[in-house]
Amino acid sequence: MSAPITCVADLRELARKRVPRAFFDYADHGSYDEVTLRDNRAVFDRIRLRQRVMIDVDQRDLATTIVDQPVSLPLAIAPTGLTGLTHGSGEILAARAAGAAGIPFCLSTMSICSVEQVAAAVDHPFWFQIYVMRDRGFTRSLIARAREAGCSALMVTADLQIQGQRHREIKNGMTVPPKLTLKNLVDILGKPRWVQGVLTAPSRSFGNLAGQIDGAGGLTTLAQWIGSQFDPRLSWDDIAWIRDLWPGKLILKGIMDPDDARAAVAAGVDAIVVSNHGGRQLDGAIASAVALPRVVDAVGNDIEVLFDGGIQTGQSLLKAVALGARAGLIGKAFLYGLGAMGQEGVTRVIEILRRELDVSMALTGHTSVHDLDRSVLLDEHGEPWLPVHARVQGTT
């Protein structure tokens, strides 16, 4: 009899056994020495929670809104590339799980199932994430396809103009299109559940990029292809151009600096995501949780601030909201659930985070996520928590 699944870490271990190594490592690891990847979670571990008692917490409410969309808890599924190779039809299964849970799902440009395939398979709107390509005509066509598919928000990723090297991808032979090596083949043959899911999926290559990768070459690494297609000239002018093309909610992901946050407000986007790309880009960048309060303080109520980076428990989600985020996005966590158990696994992840957030909120004496603020946070010594920059300046 297998052990019960009680946390996201349990699903990660199950996914590690069921997903071929190349695709598991793609989701699980970061760039270079993975310092930022580790810091994203380590910072949350150092923040303590202020326990309160003798407060009526019988009736609790996790509901909120994200870019004016009602949600059942302050959580969304982040855009992740190659999701359909973590589990066949992965984007569709994750979108269905998110819809059933009452939270947003964001489809990546680098998805396996296309925006049209996902739209045809789900009965609720979802978000679409876009990279700005050198070919602006193709970028324009992707935005038009997202509009036609009824996507309720467009998310522009700002921090992947040039890709940071991810050692595992090179060593595992990640190519565009993905190709089998003898080493990968042996691994894949030992994962019959994964093989069946992928073979019965509607797509096994980059569904949104049909016709764009044909000339990439069979042994071109994913990083090399991205380097040839993504535009390092990306600027605020491009955000203005996209704003003109997209009439709906516009979200900008990859903001880590207060100056960039203020520029995003001036650019007229509806929300920003504080994110270091899950530690997959600039290794040595500060943790997202360190950047979050600085960004929140810089923009005040001028723009909605979302958060991405290291959320794998309900406690870390609570901490992100207390630091000023309207909601948190999960990437790795939902991929672990997807790889472990398909749609049911994604549902498990959402419910684990929901339950942990609910219990932790009650034990800190709160009944609504809207009441969470920095007063609930303590440092390792039990003192009121302050952002690092405030400590350096001697702020009390």
Beta pairing partners, 384: 378
196 vs 193: CA distance, rounded Å: 5
Answer whether residue 123 is part of any domain: yes
Residue whose C-alpha is closest to residue 281's, from 247, 253, 258 = 253
Whether 277 is a known active-site residue: answer yes
Q: Do the domain assignments include residue 2?
A: no
Residue-range definition of the domain harbouring residue 139: 8-378
- Helices of type H across the chain: 8-18, 21-28, 35-46, 90-101, 115-121, 136-148, 167-171, 182-189, 192-199, 222-229, 236-245, 258-267, 288-299, 314-322, 332-363, 388-392
Is residue 392 one of the residues assigned to a domain?
no
Provide the residue count of the chain.
396
Catalytic residue (one of 277, 366, 381, 389): 277
Q: Is the pLDDT of residue 269 over 90?
A: yes
| CATH number where 182 lies | 3.20.20.70
* Average pLDDT for 36-45: 95
Angle at 201 between CA 191 and CA 100, to 5 degrees: 100
Give domain status of residue 55, yes or no: yes
Largest CA distance in the chain: 66
Residue 217 lies in a domain: yes
Quick: pLDDT tens for 193-202.
999 999 999 9
For the chain, how many structural domains are there in total? 1
Average pLDDT over residues 41-59: 97
- Is 21 inside any structural domain? yes
CA-nearest of 354, 353, 379, 374 to 364 is 374
Higher pLDDT, 187 or 6: 6
Percentage of the chain beyond pLDDT 90 is 77
Q: Is 3 a member of any domain?
A: no
Instruction: Give the pLDDT score at 140.
Output: 96
Question: 389 in a domain, yes or no?
Answer: no
The residue with tokens 């890709």 is 163
Q: Provide the whole-model pTM.
A: 0.93
